[in-house]
Structure 1
Amino acid sequence: MDQSPRETAHGTPRGLAVTARGFGLRGPRGWAFRDVDVDAAPGSLIAVEGPSGSGRTCLLLALTGRMKPTEGVAEVGGLKPPRHMSALRRVSALANVPGVTDLEPALTVGEHLRERALLQRRFGDAPRALLRSRARRRAEAREAAEAALTAAGLDVPALPKGARTAVRDLERLEELRLSIALALMSGPRLLAVDDADHKLSGAERAEVWDLLGSLAASGTTVLAVCSEAPGGAVVVSTAGPAEPGTADGDGTAVGGTGQEGGTAEDDEVAAPGGTAEQGTPADDRATTRDDTPVTEDEEGAADALAETGRS
């Protein structure tokens, strides 16, 4: 019997279940978000809804192992942040996160795809993959890129210059589709998309939600930040009370702006796919709800380089 694309080789759902209770993150300037509850099955479309500045991006980063929570509990596919942040990064991917996965305007679509394939081969594949011939590795990279582009709905030949089209010449929706395609090349079980409906017309928003819904239907759990959630999604709101000036809904981390490939000042924000976590001040250590210090996540240099500022 053929294996369903919604399942892994062991017959379990490919996507990851996401649950959280009283989940929160506090930085030097106050709460980014707090008291967030999530209950989503594998393969769900989860819409993080709220106004700009309500901590939506911080929640997305916390649930994917890029930002260290300070309150409550969460579990993503059996992995619990902050203890399992490194493992969370290996099974999730980010798309369209300002300041973290920005595309380079001067590079072409083809150059972004080749760069992503090289990074995936260098940092994402299992060591035994290096034993394959160079021709086979190139063929697999082409197949992965083609599959990701198809899943993201980006028709490269239809672009003004095909694969040689520069990012600066893409429409907003095309750029979003490219960012999603690049994230899909790593085969994530959880895809996190920031600002999914930002600067899009009503018709374009409908296209994006159809796309994300189809990815969820194929088995990948999708976590999308938006200003207005679509029907049928698992809605998570960050619009609850929070101290002013704690987070920028456009991707600014608590305490400073997330820098490409690094951390925000005074924060525990990791570059996508890796972490460059700084030590937590003694008076602001990450704790559980009963004030028990959490275990620090040990990171390796390869983890920190698994993804770059360009997704």
Structure 2
Amino acid sequence: MEANPDEPHGAAVVADGFGLKGPRGWVFREVGLRAEPGSLVAIEGPSGSGRTCLLLALTGRMKAHEGHAEVAGLRLPRRMAAVRRISALGPVPGVSDLDPALTVDEHLRERALLQRRYDGSVRALVRHPAERAAATRARIDEALAAAGLDRDALPKSGRTSVRDLERLEALRLSVALALIGRPRVLALDDTDLKLSDADRAEAWALLRSVADAGTTVLAVCSEAPEGALRITTTAGDGASADADGEPTGTGAEDPDEADDADAQATDEPQDAAEAGTSAQAADEDRPGTDAGAPDARSGGDTPAAQAADETDSTDDTENTIETENTIEEGESDAFAETGRA
């Protein structure tokens, strides 16, 4: 199906009373957001305030429990799988990490092959090998140009290992890998982490250029840049404001709760491609599959502890089932990102 040339490439992102609850309480609540296609949205706040969970929930990787959101008109949490198909993750620690042992070219070839295999049309798969190779090179070059990564400027050109990249170069590579799929929404975590002032300015200039090209960008950061649409998560009262200073709401009530949910999110592969094997992808559709979410019923090994916890067993069981369903919902519709465990 051909894209409508009059339709903006980026996706509008809308949230109203959006909230996610972990096993120990609310991670964030009452998030309000109105972002037009091609917007640069900065999710700022201290570590442990639910920033990463909000990012993953808005891209269909975690299931919210309160309110709703829409991405390109796709309502969350009902259309999580559809939202994952039009969004891509840049660097998100524990979810879409680069492999330090692979080279830049190996990462690019791997992502292009996965994209062609799982996101291409049947007609593209039966094209002449020379045509497929040319199309792959063109898509890689397009993504590298958009991310501002010059392979020839690297120490060993495309043979440079990821472990030898500077922080800003690794960020550009992650963005390029995400853009190979031509997503409508690009999401990044810890955008300004460990960057100098000069590198931070370059990183935000890169993301602005991606947004100006039409892709909606959601970026977690410690401090939002000037001109970005801002959402602030806090560990206290949860107040936040956008770029115009108007209240939008959000926040976690306890930093530990956000840490738990962040850990829950990173245990979940963003796609079956990251899970590593097609057999693991097949297991995602089986009833009762769990991605390792914490069991709220564990603990209290002694008789005294069991007696003390007995009155709360019903609530704990409900929290456990809800957490497991959250992870299971986020594991379907795989094979779009990296292809490594």
TM score, norm. by length of structure 2: 0.77
1:103 matched residue in structure 2: 98
SS state of the match for residue 307, structure 1?
coil
2:48 matched residue in structure 1: 53
Measure the CA separation in 1 of the matches of 2:80 and 2:70. Answer: 11
SS state of the match for residue 89, structure 2?
strand
Q: Is the 8 A contact 1:69 1:286 kept in 2?
A: no
How far does residue 132 in structure 1 lie from its aligned partner after superposition? 1.5
Q: Is the 8 A contact 1:271 1:304 kept in 2?
A: yes
| Residue 234 of structure 1, aligned match among 229, 237, 247 | 229
How far does residue 306 in structure 1 lie from its aligned partner after superposition? 2.6
Measure the CA separation in 1 of the matches of 2:174 and 2:263. Answer: 26
SS state of the match for residue 80, structure 1?
strand
| Counterpart residue type for residue 208 of structure 2 | G
Q: Is the 8 A contact 1:272 1:306 kept in 2?
A: yes
2:309 matched residue in structure 1: none
Measure the CA separation in 1 of the matches of 2:262 and 2:162. Answer: 29
Measure the CA separation in 1 of the matches of 2:149 and 2:233. Answer: 31
Q: Residues 117-128 of structure 1 correspond to what in structure 2 (within 5 A)?
A: 117-128=112-123
Matched residue count: 286
Higher mean C-alpha deviation, range 239-248 or range 269-278: 269-278
Q: In terms of Rg, which structure is larger?
A: 2
Measure the CA separation in 2 of the matches of 1:100 and 1:86. Answer: 17
How far does residue 33 in structure 1 lie from its aligned partner after superposition? 1.3
2:142 matched residue in structure 1: 147
**Residues 1:71 and 2:82 aligned together:** no
2:266 matched residue in structure 1: 258
Q: Is the 8 A contact 1:100 1:271 kept in 2?
A: no
**Residues 1:243 and 2:254 aligned together:** yes
Q: Is the 8 A contact 1:82 1:297 kept in 2?
A: no
Q: Is the 8 A contact 2:43 2:218 kept in 1?
A: yes
Q: Is the 8 A contact 1:90 1:273 kept in 2?
A: no
How far does residue 209 in structure 1 lie from its aligned partner after superposition? 0.7
How far does residue 254 in structure 1 lie from its aligned partner after superposition? 4.6
| Gap regions ≥5 residues in structure 1 | 1-7, 264-268, 288-292
Q: Is the 8 A contact 2:274 2:339 kept in 1?
A: no
1:43 matched residue in structure 2: 38
1:217 matched residue in structure 2: 212
| Counterpart residue type for residue 334 of structure 2 | A
| Counterpart residue type for residue 283 of structure 1 | E
1:283 matched residue in structure 2: 318
Once the two structures are superposed, residues 157-190 of structure 1 have per-residue CA deviations (whole angstroms, 9 ceiling, x without a partner) of 0000000000000000000100000000000000
Higher mean C-alpha deviation, range 22-31 or range 11-20: 22-31
2:13 matched residue in structure 1: 18
Measure the CA separation in 2 of the matches of 1:235 and 1:229. Answer: 6
| Residue 335 of structure 2, aligned match among 284, 305, 308 | 305
Once the two structures are superposed, residues 22-77 of structure 1 have per-residue CA deviations (whole angstroms, 9 ceiling, x without a partner) of 11111112222111111111110000011100111111111111111111110111
| Gap regions ≥5 residues in structure 2 | 239-251, 276-280, 294-315
Query: Matched residues, percent identical?
Result: 59
1:290 matched residue in structure 2: none
Measure the CA separation in 1 of the matches of 2:152 and 2:41. Answer: 31
Structure 1's 271 and 227: CA in aligned 2 closer, same or farther, altered over 3 A?
Answer: farther
Q: Is the 8 A contact 2:63 2:330 kept in 1?
A: no
Once the two structures are superposed, residues 71-112 of structure 1 have per-residue CA deviations (whole angstroms, 9 ceiling, x without a partner) of 111011101111111110110000110011111111100000
| Counterpart residue type for residue 166 of structure 1 | S
Q: Is the 8 A contact 1:28 1:255 kept in 2?
A: no
Higher normalized contact order (CA 8 Å, seq sep 6+, divided by chain length) = 1
2:27 matched residue in structure 1: 32
Measure the CA separation in 1 of the matches of 2:29 and 2:178. Answer: 28
Q: Residues 159-238 of structure 1 correspond to what in structure 2 (within 5 A)?
A: 159-238=154-233
TM score, norm. by length of structure 1: 0.84
Measure the CA separation in 2 of the matches of 1:271 and 1:233. Answer: 32
Q: Is the 8 A contact 2:184 2:216 kept in 1?
A: yes
How far does residue 255 in structure 1 lie from its aligned partner after superposition? 6.0
